[in-house]
Structure 1
Amino acid sequence: MVEGASEIPEKFFGKFELDRSENFDEFLAAKGISWFIRQMIKLAKVTKVLAKNDAPGKYNMENLTSKKNTLYHGWELGKTFEAEGLDGVQHKITFSYESGTLSEHHIRLNDPEHSAETYYYSVEDDQLVMKMVNNGITCRRWFKRSKK
């Protein structure tokens, strides 16, 4: 364990479906993503599933979209692992939990000098809130907890 809490609180676990976004198009544009690709990304249905893994102290995060899924199974807080991102490129990924916020840090292996991104998750009113920042643009996406 590097720093922060030794485990993720129960309120983060469950299945969450994208409800709405704030500044998402501006965020994608700041990353240099073309208008056409941004439209496709914005139309994609997104579901996030966060759960405890069967192994003690390990977790699973699934990003389920209408275009591609990423399944990160068996990771530990503070320990970096490699996996494919939604962009189809291998990433170094580290999850951390500190001060009520779960963070997911990515570095693309094909561009480690310029590709670092961190996504911050909190739970507000039983919704998973994802915050992302790029080139001074802050984006938030709200995911409703699925009753299914």
Structure 2
Amino acid sequence: MERFLGKYHGVGTENMDEYFKARGMVWPLRKMILSMMDPKNAKREFSEMGDGSFTYKDIGSTRTPVNWSFRLGETFTSTSYDGKQHKILFEFDPSGLKLLEKHEIVDEPESQQIYEHYLDNGQLIWNAIIVVL
């Protein structure tokens, strides 16, 4: 987890329209959200709390900022980017290079999302994956 600790600033987005479409958003809503998004406003931070837990903050990438405290491998429930309650789990992939952020919407357990966090030349890459059950 140590290599992820720090502050990161957004530089760009890719395939966001496809992501929103996969989430079932209608065209006018997708276009409105995309017009308001400025990746340069995105600020993400991972910090260590000292008791074995970590904090993840995401400010500016969406209208709903997040500030979560978590322990690796332990599920917690919190409000997510879409304003809904999610069960969230942070853990590493088998290679240990990607930090996975797994979401299950509490009222929609068939809708799952996985966000991969990994570093590329010192930049934090955040990749969203929709899982349809």
TM-score using structure 2 length: 0.84
Superposition map of 1:43-122 within 5 A: 43-44=36-37, 45-53=41-49, 55-65=50-60, 67-73=63-69, 75-98=70-93, 99=95, 100-112=97-109, 114-122=110-118
SS in 1 for 2:11: strand
8 Å contact 2:5–2:46 — kept in the other structure?
A: yes
1:18 aligns with 2:10: yes
8 Å contact 2:111–2:131 — kept in the other structure?
A: no
Q: How big is the shift at 1:85?
A: 0.6
Q: Higher helix share goes to which structure?
A: 2
Percent identity for Structure 1 against Structure 2? 27
8 Å contact 1:30–1:135 — kept in the other structure?
A: no
Q: How big is the shift at 1:96?
A: 0.2
CA separation in 2, counterparts of 1:89 and 1:51? 24
8 Å contact 2:87–2:105 — kept in the other structure?
A: yes
Mind listing any 5+ residue stretches in structure 2 that lack a counterpart? none
Greater RCO, 1 or 2 (C-alpha within 8 Å, sep 6+): 1
Match of 1:34 in 2: 26
Mind listing any 5+ residue stretches in structure 1 that lack a counterpart? 1-7, 137-148
CA separation in 2, counterparts of 1:13 and 1:40? 33
